[in-house]
Amino acid sequence: MDKSAFEEPTTITGPMHNELRHDSAHKHVAGTADYIDDMPEPAGTLHGALGLTDRAHAEIVDMDLSAVAALPGVVSVLTAKDMPHSNDISPTHLHDEPVLAEGRVQFHGQPAFAVIAETRDIARRAARLAKITYRDLPHMIDVADAMAGGGELVTPPLTLQRGDAEAELKRAPRRLKGKMRIGGQEHFYLEGHIALAIPGEDDEVTVWVSTQHPSEIQHMVAQVLGVPSNAVTVNVRRMGGGFGGKETQGNQFAALAAVAARKLRRAVKFRPDRDDDMVATGKRHDFLVDYDVGFDDEGQILAVQATYAARCGFSADLSGPVTDRALFHADNAYFYPHVKLTSQPLKTNTVSNTAFRGFGGPQGMVGCERIIEEVAYALGKDPLEIRKLNFYGDKDSDRNVTPYHQKIEDNIIRRIVEELEASAEYQARRTAIVEFNRSSRVIRKGIALTPVKFGISFTLTHLNQAGALVHVYNDGSVHLNHGGTEMGQGLYTKVAQVLADSFQIDIGRVKITATTTGKVPNTSATAASSGSDLNGMAAFDAARQIKARLVAFAVERWQTTPENVTFVPNHVKIGEEFVPFAEFIGQAYAARVQLSAAGFYKTPKIHWDRAAGRGTPFYYFAYGAAVSEVSIDTLTGEYLVDRVDVLHDVGRSLNPAIDIGQVEGGFVQGMGWLTTEELWWDEKGRLRTHAPSTYKIPLASDRPKIFNVRLAEWSENAEKTIGRSKAVGEPPLMLPISVLEALSMAVASIADYRECPRLDTPATPERVLMAVERLRGR
Amino acid sequence: MAQASDSIRFILNDTEIALSDVAPTATLLDFLRLERRLTGTKEGCAEGDCGACTVLVGRLAIDSKDGESLVYETVNACIRFVGSMNATHVVTVEHLAGSDGTLHPVQQAMVDFHGSQCGFCTPGIVMSLYALWLTNDNPSRAAIEKALQGNLCRCTGYEPILRAAEAAAKERPAVVFDPITRTREAVAARLKALRQSETIIVRKEEDCLIVPADTAGLATALADYPTATIVAGATDVGLWVTKQMRSLNPVVFINAIPELQRIESSKTGLAIGAGVSYTAAFEALASAYPSFGRLLDRLGGEQVRNMGTIGGNIANGSPIGDSPPPLIALGATVSLRSKDGTRSLPLENFFIAYGKQDRRPGEFVESIFVPALAEDDRFAAYKVTKRRDEDISALLGAFRISLEADRVKTARIAFGGMAATPKRAKAVEAALMRQPWTEDTVRIAQAAFETDFQPISDWRATGAYRMLAAKNLLMRFFLESMGEKAQIERFEDVA
């Protein structure tokens, strides 16, 4: 034994709370990080393409695919009838979402067949040769159409109610009604959907797919093929972005690849072109919010009644929980003494909308902040003043119950907002801006401070579970696997930090491995910001089990007590002796200690009764606030975000570098949603913004010119989460509501701030200019 | 037709490539990924907008002293055709790190500053930052933004990427570490040797691609194949292939013809060869017509500006092309050449109707002549888009006015996005002529836009917005002529 064994080891690399870089960063920049299309293809791999329909709503009278099949290089053409067992991939099991349209087309671009060919190019060319005869049916494209057409819903609505909103609205000294349109959003993950299916023995198939939800892919592929789940293995090492767009939307590609692979006994890859990806997969829901607010002369809100109507598309997909979450955030950080909120998940002849970072919460919150603005402009006050007046109270207050009857026990919004207000010099800047606007003819400025309170947990309680599989090999190296997926958010890095911390070993000893249904079963989607909360805890649990066995082994071998065995940096301390970790593991192996464990975690405390609209759907809340300053050009409506200051709460950060990246990235993505990203369907129901040439996500030059992002370093999760951290994926997306409101203020300056501009989203230059025009002369 | 070669020859990283059976529409990206298994370069959109496929292309370019220098520019491999690669040096992300795996300073900074999240856009961003690193050791934030105009990142919000670019610029380790600096002279010599002296014709089955060495060769090729598709930068034609799946045959690539690369400046104006890229034209245009320069800064991304040409923008006849309106306002003429000779006509007469230009079979656009501004001419061009950079115009207005005794002496106003072709606003011009240059005159002239245009509504803007903004652009032009700040400038610190 070397002498160092008795010296106190100091630290490890990569424990929790460290600013560790992304585990794949080196590979990202070198071009060596493999995405599915980069993997070497098995010999004889075939390529698929979707055959898209071009009617919004129609019966398929005839589908002549002879020219498709006849193109040299085409191997097979699949239609609904070729699905071996089931043509259904509805994630909610409502049987409303076919793999391939059968008999009826329900949105423009719905796939009705698939071509399998020797090359991707041939498959794409062949897919355009179909002759489909339709009998057109009336179609409904947006919320207004759907309401006019009778308001058919894709899934049951939700009502949240507390007190008597109707009566209090009548009684309130002041009352305002309005409507707000909130646009949808395309995910625009840089890596489009992709699936590669490789047939195996018997009924087996292995699918590599860019998905946030491997278990669901597994179940859907099994269902379509008519095989048990144990025949299907789904793998994903990393995605080139997900943002919710790969929670359910990969099902179609995986199912088709698997069906073709089983049928043809060859590997089959589906990689849709960007246009097909954008046309044929779901997006963020757009909403029409109808609100009615009662308040007093100070701006204290007395009652709110609101309906959140959403364009859901032709099927339910995740529209139920998405529209639910809109209601869960229709209060944002404010106490409504009397409230009634209703969702209206409307059926339309458009692609079925789906999960997108925030999952309905952002739309709920944007509607809420519009109400605050309305109250402020009606009273001639700074919206921030109205906000402060209406914040939820703290734990012991009588103003801490949400519309869903959950008590808020961890409220820190007041401290966040007040610290930010001071550090960003909000008041002085606002005064200066009002002064500037007085003398500036064309350019006007605006500033706004908006808060975020976001509930963390899947609202479908049973999804709040996770598994991890940890092996310690006899050389002391550690293999980590868990049910979470890596889409850039740094989940793999954070969970590896948990293991490094648990075993007190350098993170370099931990090998992070691709997510696979073969190692950790029955996982939930990596969604709802829950990735590190759930998987971090599951990995922690696996490490705990292995460590317990190791301690028992040490107690026996060294004849000591458990208190005398501790894991210290890269060593195990037994009594006064420091045994290097690898050496210790080697001995444990020789003593036949089981060095592998499956960890498990389920979130405590939460429950939710949807029918009653009551419960504790959220384990805790994440908070944040942002101040944004903008300039607008009142001749064209063009604008610039001059400065943004953010203070955001991630509890005790597992990795501040990664968390700041999530805050900055979420902010810019949310800003894009509220400003330049516009989805546009024509009268035929065709999506005409189906590529980056027509759909404009933010560029480097759109990001705030000055961008100060800080984490609330004093914050610690009140609940016992992993390292007392908080989820970070979704909450920052809502911080740029401050950009929208700052634009609104700049517009309002035209009429001396006497009128709420009612700026809808996305607040494109056109919407800004048209709002300016509305206010001119008032 | 005389020909020196039946293959396309270029250097890929450190390997010399010769292709004698390449299809005219084969893209560089597919060649890299499918044939060479260089999978670091990604496909994000296949239309030149996201930048995930960014590579550097080195070529021998005419420099300001009429000599030659090896320049490296970012391009979108997804819409660049392999047939256009002769005598170039293609550099992909795999070429950057040292042979021992040591990262290039640009790559290392991206790691150190957390510039990647999902990582899919990252190789393209690394290449764009690398191009900047090669030419600028102290870039302003605006310069970095400009270098990244053609790169989309959906994860990071860009801030860490900007920090990485700033840090990398200062990292100048031993020159030998940088792959391009290290091999510059040898590569330049190789490219000289690879350069064609006569037309290259490559056939693959029924398809044929032609790369003329000079304009005479081009004229001959077009006389032989009057229906051939002429491709300069491929920033539009590329999409016909990747998106519309069109079969083009034959294709004539003109990007390497030296005579079409010339810019000649004289007292009377600028003559710009049809093959001059936006990037190459920038300096001359921006110094003669500063507002034109600011407009070019917002045309496409850097990759598109490096590939796309003003000649192509004209020949294409798009109603939303960015260069025709300012060129029409400036009174530019276009020269067309065929085997039978050359003719020139005012640019505005070239655009006949939507998709229809006055280009006869066998003709090609040879050059554009832009008259110099007179001393008292005021000129401005304004582009209005949903997103400030790398967006197609909702509308674009260009104004050239001269005054005499505070009255309007001449007025040439042209708009894109307001009609089926780039078009002059003749009623507006008439309303201004001989009137005092005052706000009242402008208000009266604004109404004349209704006579000139009936703009359509589409996904870029409604007709109502286009009309209102067009009127307001005239007001902006007036207010700016009075010294008032009437627009938001993003790139104030970019020369």
Q: Which residue does chain B place closest to A687, by CA atoms? A: B459
Q: Is the pLDDT of residue A155 over 80?
A: yes
| Pick from B47, B152, B460: CB nearest A697 | B152
The stretch A37-48 carries a mean pLDDT of: 98
Would the ipTM clear 0.95, i.e. be above it? yes
pLDDT(A2) > 70: no
pLDDT above 70: percentage of residues in chain A: 99
Residue A586 CA to residue A583 CA, distance in Å, equals 5
Q: Do domains B8-94+182-258 and B262-481 have the same CATH topology?
A: no
Chain B residue with CA closest to A636: the answer is B469
Tell me the domains of chain A and their CATH numbers.
3-33+465-602 (3.30.365.10), 43-138+187-280 (3.90.1170.50), 407-457+620-778 (3.30.365.10)
Residue A624 has pLDDT above 90, yes or no: yes
Distance from CA of A409 to the nearest CA of B (A): 32
Give the pLDDT score at A7: 62
Q: Is the pLDDT of residue A31 over 70?
A: yes
Q: Closest Cα of chain B to A90: distance in Å?
A: 28
pLDDT value at residue B173: 82
b/e map of B146-180 (b: 16 or more CB within 10 Å)?
bbbbbbbbbbbbbbbbbbbbbbbbeeeeeeebbbb
Helix (H, G, I), strand (E, B) or coil at A558: helix
| φ and ψ of A4, to 5 deg | -60, -20
Strands A58-64 and A104-105: antiparallel
Confidence of residue A189 (pLDDT cuts 50, 70, 90): very high
Inter-chain contact A273–B121, Cβ cutoff 8 Å?
Answer: no
* Mean pLDDT to the nearest integer, A19-47: 97
- The angle subtended at Cα B311 by Cα B310 and Cα B313, nearest 5°, is 60
Q: Residue B4's pLDDT is what?
A: 56
Non-local (6+) Cβ contacts of B150 within 8 A are B48, B49, B51, B54, B74, B76, B128, B300, B301, B302, B303, B304, B390
CB A220 within 8 A of CB A207: no
* Catalytic hit among A186, A486, A730, A741: A730
Average pLDDT over residues A264-274: 98
Are A262 and A83 in contact by the 8 Å Cβ rule? The answer is: no
User: Mean pLDDT over all residues of chain B?
Assistant: 95
Which chain A residue has the Cα nearest residue B300?
A693
Please report the pLDDT score of residue B491 as a whole number.
58
What is the predicted pLDDT for the residue at B414?
A: 98
Asked if residue A777 has pLDDT above 90, the reply is: no
CATH fit for domain B105-177, picks 1.10.150.120, 3.30.230.10, 3.30.465.10, 3.40.50.300: 1.10.150.120
Give the CATH fold of the B8-94+182-258 domain. Ubiquitin-like (UB roll) (3.10.20)
B432, B433, B435, B475 from B426: Cα distances, Å: 10, 10, 15, 17
Question: Chain A residues with CB inside 8 Å of B472's CB?
Answer: 635-636, 769
Task: Look at residue B3 and tell me whether its pLDDT is greater than 80.
Answer: no
**Structure confidence at residue B337 as a pLDDT band (50, 70, 90):** very high
**Region A63-79 average pLDDT:** 98
pLDDT score of A449 more than 60: yes
Interface contact flag, A190 B153, Cβ < 8 Å: yes
Q: How far apart are CA A57 and CA B120, in angstroms?
A: 36
**DSSP collapsed to 3 states, chain B:** CCCCECCEEEEECCEEEEECCCCCCCEHHHHHHHHCCCCCCCCCCCCCCCCCCEEEEEEEEECCCCCEEEEEEEEECCCCEHHHCCCCEEECHHHCCCCCCCCCHHHHHHHHCCCCCCCCCHHHHHHHHHHHHHHCCCCCHHHHHHHCCCCCCCCCCCHHHHHHHHHHHHCCCCHHHCHHHHHHHHHHHHHHHHCCCCCEEEEECCEEEEECCCHHHHHHHHHHCCCCEEECCCCCHHHHHHCCCCCCCCEEECCCCHHHHCEEECCCEEEEECCCEHHHHHHHHHHHCHHHHHHHCCCCCHHHHHHCEHHHHHHHCCCCCCCHHHHHHCCCEEEEEECCEEEEEEHHHHEEECCEECCCCCCEEEEEEEECCCCCEEEEEEEECCCCCCCCCCEEEEEEEEEECCEEEEEEEEEECCCCCCEECHHHHHHHCCCECCHHHHHHHHHHHHHHCCCCCCCCCCHHHHHHHHHHHHHHHHHHHCCCCCCCCCCCCCC
Selection from A550, A615, A600, A604 nearest residue A579 by Cα: A550
Chain B contact for A706 (CB, 8 A cutoff): no
CATH fold of the domain at B262-481: Enolase-like; domain 1 (3.30.390)
Domain positions in chain B are 8-94+182-258, 105-177, 262-481
CA dihedral A627, A633, A636, A642 (to 10 degrees): -40
Residue A73 — pLDDT band, cuts 50, 70, 90?
A: very high
Q: Which residues of A fall within a CB distance of 8 Å from B302?
A: none
Please say if the pLDDT value at position A357 is more than 50. Answer: yes
Query: Is A188 in contact with B126 (Cβ distance < 8 A)?
Result: no
Whether residue B222 is predicted with pLDDT greater than 80 in this model: the reply is yes
pLDDT in tens, A488-531: 999 999 999 999 999 999 999 999 999 999 999 999 999 999 99
**Is residue A425 annotated as part of the catalytic site, yes or no?**
no
The answer, yes or no, to whether residue B90 has pLDDT greater than 90, is yes
One-letter amino acid identity for A743?
A: L
Q: Chain B within 8 Å of A774 (Cβ-Cβ)? A: no
pLDDT tens, residue by residue, A363-411: 999 999 999 999 999 999 999 999 999 999 999 999 999 999 999 999 9
pLDDT on residue B259: 94
Give A689's contacts in chain B (Cβ within 8 Å).
459
Q: Is A38 near chain B, with CB under 8 Å? A: yes
Using pLDDT thresholds of 50, 70 and 90, give the confidence band for residue B349.
Answer: very high
Residue B1's pLDDT band (boundaries 50, 70, 90)?
very low
Minimum-distance CB partner of B158 among A692, A700, A764: A700
Q: Does A269 touch chain B (CB under 8 A)?
A: no
Mean pLDDT of B231-258: 95
A657 close to B (CB below 8 A): yes
Residue among B81, B363, B85 at smallest CA distance from B221: B363
What's the whole-number mean pLDDT along residues B130-144? 96
- Closest Cα of chain B to A32: distance in Å? 6
pLDDT tens digits along B154-197: 999 999 999 999 999 998 887 668 999 999 999 999 999 999 99
Q: What is the enclosing helix (H) or strand (E) of A307?
A: strand A301-311
Q: Say what the pLDDT of residue B99 is.
A: 87
Q: In the prediction, which pLDDT does B364 show?
A: 96
- DSSP state at residue A202: T
Q: Model confidence at B495, in pLDDT bands (50, 70, 90)?
A: very low
For residues A749 and A454, the answer to whether their CB atoms sit within 8 Å is no
Q: What is the pLDDT of residues B429-450, one digit of tens each?
A: 999 999 999 999 999 999 999 9
Cβ of B389 and A192 within 8 Å? no
Of A27, A192, A688, the CB nearest to B459: A688
Could you report the per-residue pLDDT of A529-544, keeping only the tens digit for each? 999 999 999 999 999 9
Is the confidence at residue A3, as pLDDT, over 60?
no
CB A443 within 8 A of CB B490: no
Residue A6 has pLDDT above 80, yes or no: no
Chain A residues whose CB is inside 8 A of the B384 CB are 636, 638, 765
- Rounded Cα gap, residues B119 and B109, in angstroms: 14
Predicted confidence at residue B62, as pLDDT, reads 80
